[in-house]
Structure 1
Amino acid sequence: MAVASTSPLSAKPATAPSPPAPGSGLLALGVRRAPATAAWRRLRVEAIRTQRTEVPVEESAPARDAAAAAPLDGNGAGADGSVVPSSDDSWVVKLEQSFNIFATDSVIMVLKGVYGDRYYARFFALETIARVPYFAFISVLHLYATFGWWRRADYIKVHFAQSWNEFHHLLIMEELGGDSLWFDCFLARFMAFFYYFMTVAMYMLSPRMAYHFSECVERHAYSTYDEFLKLHEEELKRLPAPEAALNYYMNEDLYLFDEFQASRTPGSRRPKIDNLYDVFVNIREDEAEHCKTMKTCQTHGNLRSPHSTPNCLEDDTECVIPENDCEGIVDCVKKSLTK
């Protein structure tokens, strides 16, 4: 009698025996590819690989270096193993960050308790939630622009690129079977629904707090994928890359891929995709870049699109922040009381 796989990497319930995936008896990807489409995709990816040369990783511009996040260690945290605090030591910032860390830890406990070793289902939930803040940021920024309060195209541009990146992470998890169970989809989308409105309110109250919360979430995502790669490296290297990953990472047009990495020079990072392990390595590195960008955003007006002109003129309203410019309700109240 055939026995269904009990590997912790299996995303779908073992209701019936299924043929093993090529190159591995542990993980079934659940990918359905037409032979002609798969062959065409392989040829296209190989052509892109041959066109790409090894691109050296360039250092960020000096202005971005000053705002970049502290290096991530293997656990996705700062060198001391904790979330790097803001340079502002006021009690407001400490209160904001304490709440964010507590809320993030609480959500992590829930996800670990519900999903356990069902990695792909957990990743599906994580990516469903992870793209919500960027949509919330864009919503509020569009509202401000509509009222003529605050118009900064770079913020909308970078946050859209971040949302686009997380969206493709979600497509990859869906192709791997992370959305197989109705309950997993319901829980992830239920949490994302309320997370959106919470982020909108938080962003209007204090953008610094909202960005720090997202930094905490991205650090957890980095840590989660890093742990997963260390536990299942050999198995993942024997499995093929999902179609969604090839479509995104091996695309000829990587403008939006460069756009969300605000601490890098455009073109300094080009993914290599040979197997499923490479896919998760790139997803992990994406989360690290999101974390750096969120750290940069915590300094008001510090975010610049990687494709923007590096030198700003003194009268350029996109580069110069008015003295009375507020970054949120808390900041506006604080400035009004200190005048």
Structure 2
Amino acid sequence: MNLSSSAFAISASSFPLKAKNPKTRVPFNFQNPLRCSSPSSIRPLSRKLYPVKATVLQEDEEEVVVERSFPTKSPLGNEIEKVGESPANSSSSGLERWVIKVEQSVNIFLTDSVIKILDTLYRDRDYARFFVLETIARVPYFAFISVLHLYESFGWWRRADYLKVHFAESWNEMHHLLIMEELGGNSWWFDRFLAQHIAFFYYFMTVFMYALSPRMAYHFSECVESHAFETYDKFIKVQGDELKKKPAPKVAIKYYTGGDLYLFDEFQTARAPCSRRPKIDNLYDVFVNIRDDEAEHCKTMKACQTHRNLRSPHSNEDDFEDMPDCMLPEADCEGIVDCIKKSFTSTQEKQMETTERNR
């Protein structure tokens, strides 16, 4: 479903922003925060503070907060090109933009293909469709954690915030899956067979993609989460009256209203902790919160596409000022390809410096 019926309003943010470390905040596309970025949307952004948020106004005037921006970086994770820079740097930037367009084109093609298959198989079977979606939705976060643990085992770097946020996202998607199972979405063996086998191959595809290009893997997950948001939003609008007459599953009540909501706050990286506390009175409230969860996942995946731009909502920047010598620093490169490329670039720069000194 397209969000063509939604209107976006920009208003001043109610949360104070810290300008102490602007490199750790989230870049967003201000046109539509829930649509995965198309290749044509790649353009430099100004590095300024934008304390704003966008609000989706549904057809029934129900407000759903889906956006809150932070200091932005370039989509390439670098400083904006300045007048007078060398042609070599400009050429490199142009090549990287071309790579981004290719990555996003592939992601959008894959996502659209899977959506067409699911539309055909689950036209009138909503809960079964949701079960398949949630089984698949857990996979990327587990794949990200696997690769990050592998890098840590190799002694390359540690990214504690990424591990925390991705685990919280996986924990959230797992409870979505438990809700769909309680609603009977996994009652037919074919649905379980399809979901589990797609998840199996999806895991290895995501691991391979994340190892090569985290930016591409995060964008693909953004597209998946965007589709999930649209699917639940459409379902709520069509079935809203019926859903309000049905009780909420016990697992949903326990997850959304339980005593310890640390992990619930952890995956919502564009919100201050404790700023969102759902109500669960009926099944309608459950699906509204699941939809809003997908919106938060979409924003977090968008943030991760800029290198070293994710910070846990519970992290205190002061805690990282005095790091023990035994801790591994964060790498200044992304996946394997980027690390190899930067290692060659670093070697060439050192050779040039040595040549200059010898003259």
1:77 to 2:77 alignment? no
| Structure 1 residues without counterparts, runs of 5 or longer | 1-55
Partner of 1:173: 180
Alignment CA distance shift 1:64-1:334 (3 Å): closer
Q: Is contact 2:130-2:180 (8 Å) kept?
A: yes
Return the offset for 1:228: 0.6
Return the offset for 1:337: 4.6
Residues 100-127 of structure 1: per-residue CA shift (max 9 Å, x gap): 1111111111111111120000000000
1:268 to 2:275 alignment? yes
Q: Is contact 1:68-1:263 (8 Å) kept?
A: no
Q: Give the distance between the partners of 1:82 and 1:275, measured in 2 at CA.
A: 40
Return the offset for 1:201: 0.5
Partner of 2:300: 293
Q: Is contact 1:127-1:170 (8 Å) kept?
A: yes
Return the offset for 1:300: 1.3
Q: Give the distance between the partners of 1:258 and 1:205, measured in 2 at CA.
A: 30
Q: Which amino acid aligns with 1:111?
A: L
Partner of 2:157: 150
Partner of 1:333: 340
* 88-97 or 248-257, which deviates more: 88-97
Alignment CA distance shift 1:259-1:66 (3 Å): closer
Alignment CA distance shift 1:206-1:181 (3 Å): same
Return the offset for 1:83: 9.3
Alignment CA distance shift 1:71-1:242 (3 Å): farther
Residues 30-49 of structure 1: per-residue CA shift (max 9 Å, x gap): xxxxxxxxxxxxxxxxxxxx
Q: Which amino acid aligns with 2:317?
A: P
Q: Is contact 1:120-1:173 (8 Å) kept?
A: yes
- Matching residue within 237, 262, 281 for 2:288: 281
Partner of 1:204: 211
Q: How many corresponding residue pairs? A: 280
Map 1:1-339 onto structure 2 (within 5 A): 58=15, 63=22, 66-70=25-29, 76-77=34-35, 85=42, 87-88=75-76, 90-311=97-318, 316=323, 321=330, 325-339=332-346
Residues 147-188 of structure 1: per-residue CA shift (max 9 Å, x gap): 111111111111000000000000000001100100011001
Return the offset for 1:94: 1.0
Alignment CA distance shift 1:66-1:245 (3 Å): same
Q: Give the distance between the partners of 2:14 and 2:177, measured in 1 at CA.
A: 27
Alignment CA distance shift 1:305-1:65 (3 Å): closer
What secondary structure sits across from 2:317 in the alignment? Answer: coil
What secondary structure sits across from 1:232 in the alignment? Answer: helix
Greater per-residue strand proportion: 2
Q: Which amino acid aligns with 1:127?
A: E
Return the offset for 1:311: 3.9
Residues 229-251 of structure 1: per-residue CA shift (max 9 Å, x gap): 11111111111111110010010
Q: Give the distance between the partners of 1:240 and 1:267, measured in 2 at CA.
A: 25
Q: Give the distance between the partners of 2:14 and 2:287, measured in 1 at CA.
A: 20
Partner of 2:49: none
Alignment CA distance shift 1:81-1:233 (3 Å): farther
* TM-score, scaled to structure 1: 0.76
Q: Is contact 1:72-1:288 (8 Å) kept?
A: no
Alignment CA distance shift 1:85-1:171 (3 Å): farther
RMSD: 2.7
Alignment CA distance shift 1:82-1:169 (3 Å): farther
